[in-house]
Structure 1
Amino acid sequence: MADTTDELAGVVDLFGALTRDELERALVELAFKQGREVEREAVASEIDRAVEGYHLVETEYADSSDAATASDESGDDGGGAETVLVAGPAAFPTVPENGPDLPHILDVPDRDLDREDLGEAVAERLREEARTAAAAGDADRAEELLDVSYDLEAWAPVDASGVRETLDSAFE
């Protein structure tokens, strides 16, 4: 199984995008190949931690002709869309041991995501979280979000300077 959030991102990056269920199946396969056991609850918790830290980003995906938009909600919207995970701006995707075998083991559809739309949606999530951290006076979270703002600009064609202004003005 992947041991770090960067390894989770590495598994997802092998495919471009995975649903939570597909990622869990991939991690179970990895654990099996590595001679380890995996607990589903621990996997779900690690995925949540990776999403919170922007190592993974959740987005709604309908099909290759529709633009993807980021969302913090999971599940089906009833219109055939599914929530998928992609390697996020804070990740340094690292493929874990036996990871390169996964695309040969799992049957996962190709998903083409619009990086610009995804970047804008992640920027909006970041703006919301920056306002929340600033309002709560949460300096630790603000510092994390500040780092993510720079990562986001390298990850997608977006401007996150407003996030930095929000955090700077709240903590001056």
Structure 2
Amino acid sequence: MDLTPDDLAGVVDLFGALTRAECGQACAELAFKRGEDDDVDAFGSLVDEALASYHLVSVADHDAGVDDPLLVVGPTAFPTLPDGATDLPHIMSVPEREVSSETVAEAAEARFREDAVLAVRADDDERIADLLDVSYDLEAWGSVDLASARDRLDDA
């Protein structure tokens, strides 16, 4: 099943937040509804891609009543609903969740700073350029200041 990171963000947005397992279950349900294969490995790769591109943000420290980290819509996402997604809240027994925007912004900022350090250490020009773009989206989306991290990326 071909889903984009924006499609995945749309699915997550239906619930407010999903665990990684719930997100996989949602993708499997979509595949079933469409009569397509539910390739679990592909779903995992798509989640990894969406996290790396900041379409999704993983929040480990939250008050949502589950122990697992939650996936929430990130700063680069333009959530879209894939065909059949509107039925997911009726199919899955997952409550709507809300994670505070401050908590999500803090998680995204921490992840960004880690990614920036790794990109600079690896001298990965492509990743550095991607992160510079993300930094502006992240600042506009959450109440974070990434000027110092952006300066380090610019200097790399």
TM-score (structure 2 length as normaliser) = 0.91
Percent identical residues? 50
**Alpha-carbon distance in structure 2 between the residues aligned to 1:62 and 1:86:** 11
User: Root-mean-square deviation (CA), in Å?
Assistant: 1.7
Shift of 1:152: 0.7
1:129-140 to 2 correspondences below 5 Å: 129-140=115-126
Distance in 1, matches of 2:69 and 2:119, equals 26
Determine if the alignment matches structure 1 residue 106 to structure 2 residue 84.
no
Superposition pairs of residues 108-147 of structure 1, within 5 angstroms: 108-147=94-133
Aligned residues: 156
Matched, 1:167 2:153: yes
Aligned counterparts, 1:71-90, within 5 A: 81-90=67-76
Query: Deviations for 1:58-94, whole angstroms, at most 9, x for unmatched residues?
Result: 1125534x9xxxxxxxxxxxxx622111111121111
Is 1:150 the counterpart of 2:136? The answer is yes
User: How far, CA to CA, are the matches of 2:61 and 2:121 in structure 1?
Assistant: 32
More helix by share: 2
1:33-112 map, 5 Å? 33-60=33-60, 62-64=62-64, 81-112=67-98
Equivalent-residue separation in structure 2 for 1:102 and 1:52 (angstroms): 25
TM-score by length of 1: 0.83
Gaps of 5+ in 1: 67-79
Which runs of 4 or more aligned residues in structure 1 lie more than 4 Å from their structure 2 counterparts after TM superposition?
Answer: none
Rounded Cα–Cα distance in structure 1 between residues aligned with 2:103 and 2:63: 14
User: Aligned partners of 2:143, 2:62: CA distance in 1, in Å?
Assistant: 22
Gaps of 5+ in 2: none
Query: SS at the partner of 2:58?
Result: strand
